[in-house]
A and B are shown apart, each in its own frame.
Chain A
Amino acid sequence: MSAVIDSHHDDHHHGPAKGFSRWLYTTNHKDIGSMYLWFSLVMLFIGGAMAMVIRAELFEPGSQIVSPEFYNQMVTNHGLIMVFGVIMPAFVGFANWMIPMQIGAPDMALPRLNNLSFWILPVAFGILLSTFFMEGGAPNFGWTFYAPLSTEYAPPTVTFFIFSVHIMGASSIMGSINIITTILNMRAPGMTLMKMPLFVWSWFITAYLLIAVMPVLAGAVTMMLMDIHAGTSFFKAGGGGDPVLFQHIFWFFGHPEVYIMILPAFGIVSHIIETFSRKPIFGYSSMVYAIASIALLSFVVWAHHMFTVGMPIAGELFFMYSTMLIAIPTGVKVFNWLSTMFKGSLTFETPMLFAIAFVALFTIGGLSGIMLAIAPADFQYHDTYFVVAHFHYVLVPGALFSLLAAAYYWIPKWTGKMYDETLGKVHFWMSFISVNLTFFPMHFVGLAGMPRRIPDYAMQFADWNMMVSVGAFLFGISQLLFLFIVLKCIYNGKAATTEVWEGAKDKGFEWTVDSPAPYHTFSSPPSMESLKSSS
């Protein structure tokens, strides 16, 4: 065994290969991390373009630019792409880059699996997007693809959709196995579980969630496949099947999925707030327990998406109470972040701005979540724009802002160059203003009665919708600025120091290596002693 490793070491060359094969064959966690991040940035613009089509159609009452059928395809693919193609791969990209560096490991534990789990993703989304050019058009049944709309009544391309979801699931599962293995086996000596950085903790738990629920999603789409092609009746009422069963299975996956998209954000934001407050994180262990309890609770709240399917009252009450419980650990996290900033020495660089906005706006999303948890009131909120407002508040100024914050926070370490701080702040303020302009009025139209997923609407919703559309266009443009800032940083940034942020070198191993981080880091493990503040 050791002989194998030794011989590997002999012909080890210390730089990346040249050309495209570097990327195709790479097993380096940094390369793979970068590919995940670029991939999700590209998908962000594709999914974002679809959002622009949606907002253009809804700019005014009346039919505007697309047919109702194409509108449904936009709604569906916007959701699928943003969830599976942007937020999830971007977090995996950060995991790839940062987990080995934060735990003092040379790479991920399973580098070839890592390569595979990335490269099947573009295949999956290539398949999904190719359905736009096929007869019958792309999937049009919403990202929640409720049967029988997605089975008996689906366009023929649903089979490609199912195949694509299977591949995405496989990619996530492989990625999670890799992350768990890395975290369990490759930490620097002395880094006990309760000394792990919070981003590592959040991903550790997220990875278990993924392994638990991705197979459930695979099961759901396989049953659909059978209903469509093999004559079974899992979800076909006419054949004795049960359309509601689909929703139970979907949301048993779907609710943990929601937390999969937010837990790593909690980790990221904790690091950033800690660094720019120049204070240790407040309540480290309660942060860990809060993440763990949110993850556990996420398995017993799924039917709060289904308060109107006609569950027995005991079910309604159970899912109402369990959902309300989630507010407790979430509230703990918000209060801990505030306490971390309390009596700190705060500066407001771009990552911090995004992190602060995350805390503020995620709180709004969390509070509307409490309202939605109240089952009888949810009879009025369900499937209206109030829900759309809620989940966009937790996913855009929530998950997406945390990703932007993380990009600004770590990009100097990756590239060895600083981004343009002024432009970064402009990007922040444009995003902050437009994101609220876009999603805040949705609360109002939702309460006033506008259903979601409709291509045209009644007159009383007109003013707010126009405002939402204006906000959305601005938000879209703002993200082009982000692309520019990233490119400018890579090609034209000023050199960054090793520490990058004042006092950061106590905050984690990643700030002890050179900027840019060498292609291979930590060929011998670092010592916990080098981090003063980790108690």
Chain B
Amino acid sequence: MFRAIKYSLSLAAALTANFSFAAWDDLNMSPGATQLSQEIFGLHMTVFYVCLAIGIAVLLAMAFILFKYRKKEGVKPADFDDSTALEITWTVLFALILIVLAVPATSVMIKAYDDQEGDINILITGHQWKWQYEYIEDEVGFFSNLSTSLDKRNNLAPKDENYLLEVDEPLVIPTNTRVRFLITANDVIHSWWVPDFAIKQDAIPGFVNTGWTYVNEPGVFRGQCTELCGQYHGYMPIVVKAVSPEEYSTFIRDKKEAKIQQALLTEKLWSTSELMEIGEGIYQKNCVACHQIGGRGIPPVFPSLVGSEIVMRNKARHIEILMEGVQGAAMASYAEQLSEVEIAAVITYTRQAWGNAETGDGKIVIPKEILDYKTNKL
């Protein structure tokens, strides 16, 4: 009932004043930020104008016929039913129009399909429901998650300009450099689309597709996953930040730095409360989507972590689940996505929170154990 009222109110608002259409330029494709995207935009406009012209001609002819030949007293309809000459004429006409369209289409296609190596090569892996970026030459990488808060999605906080199009960590690429993307997926098929680059490539498990770009001006470019990939398909945006080559080198240096820091942290001695603090943050960011705030999940699909056998008493299996994921279920491996510290912290957090420490064995996990797990596997 409340919803019905809310709907009719917003409906009334929409129909009266609120149809502002502030963004009339949002009616069309964006010309984008690269030469290729502009050529594709040009091609789109050419085809569009041709189709528009045909459409208008047909509809006008039709309107004319409908008006002129409506039934009138004493006017007999004609009874012709054929005209080979006419039919050949328009068939040839259609063929000519299509050839006119096919020529530019072919040449743009050939440009888009240039798959030489890039100056920088980035491996993009689609996961349910986040993107992973790895800079192949520099051996650094990270995951990029939606950063729009649940409150905004649930209408509890006002939405802003980049609602659903913002991430915790954008992909950074340098300007004036040929960047090649190698695109694949880890679970189901996703599709990596950045409209401003005119790149849309399916990310398919077992395949590596390529796309490339060459951006001239710094800027932030946003896109989304465009292949249905499960329940949070609408929540895995893409943000690419193009920066000057100097800024880019700093970015890569910082990333390498951070990687070394991480390794050191693993060796440090950790207290339960330190782990709990980090763990809670990790849980909010990575686990609530399925296991929910409060850890009770949505059984039977997403199990409750409160009072779970594994969480309360089976530490080894608990580590294994986080490291390996569960085959055939939505529970993915976090071995790549989270650092040793983070994994240890989130395990500790789930074993301590929600009363699990009291009902279960209350064992904590330290980063060293995760590192050992990894080493033993090798």
Contacts and interface: CB of A to CB of B under 8 A. Distances in A.
Interface string A431-449: 0000000000000100111
B305 interface: no
A141 B189 contact: no
B26 A460 contact: yes
A142 B229 CA distance: 10
Contacts of B162: 458
A146 B226 contact: no
Interface string A366-397: 01101100111101101110000000000000
A344 B69 contact: yes
Contact of A338 (B58, B106, B161): B58
Nearest to B97: A327
A447 B27 contact: yes
Interface string A268-283: 0000000001111111
Contact of B112 (A356, A379, A382, A444): A379
B253 interface: no
B202 A343 contact: no
Interface string A312-335: 010011001100110110011011
A61 B163 contact: yes
A346 interface: yes
A504 to B, nearest CB: 14
B187 A153 contact: yes
Contacts of B95: 328
Nearest to B184: A237
Contacts of A237: 204-207
Given A61-B159, A149-B229, A339-B86, A379 B40 contact: yes
A309 interface: yes
A238 B19 CA distance: 50
A367 B51 contact: yes
A341 B59 contact: no
Contacts of A529: none
- Say which size band chain B's interface belongs to: 35 or more
A278 B301 CA distance: 62
B261 interface: no
Contacts of B26: 444, 448, 460-461
B82 A283 contact: yes
Contacts of B187: 148, 153
Interface in A203-222: none
A359 interface: yes
B152 interface: yes
Interface string A238-261: 100111100000000000000000
Contacts of B112: 376, 379
A309 B202 contact: yes
Contacts of A153: 128, 187-188, 230, 328, 330
B161 A459 contact: yes
Contacts of B193: 383, 451
B75 interface: yes
B79 A345 contact: no
B79 A313 contact: no
Contacts of B113: 313, 316
A141 B47 contact: no
A149 B230 contact: yes
B159 A62 contact: yes
23 contacts: A62-B155, A72-B228, A72-B230, A148-B188, A153-B128, A153-B330, A243-B206, A282-B81, A285-B82, A316-B113, A325-B98, A346-B70, A367-B54, A367-B55, A371-B44, A377-B44, A379-B198, A383-B193, A384-B226, A455-B234, A457-B234, A458-B164, A470-B11
Given A243-B205, A335-B87, 12 more contacts: A140-B231, A282-B82, A284-B82, A286-B87, A310-B204, A346-B65, A367-B55, A368-B51, A383-B193, A447-B29, A463-B19, A470-B11
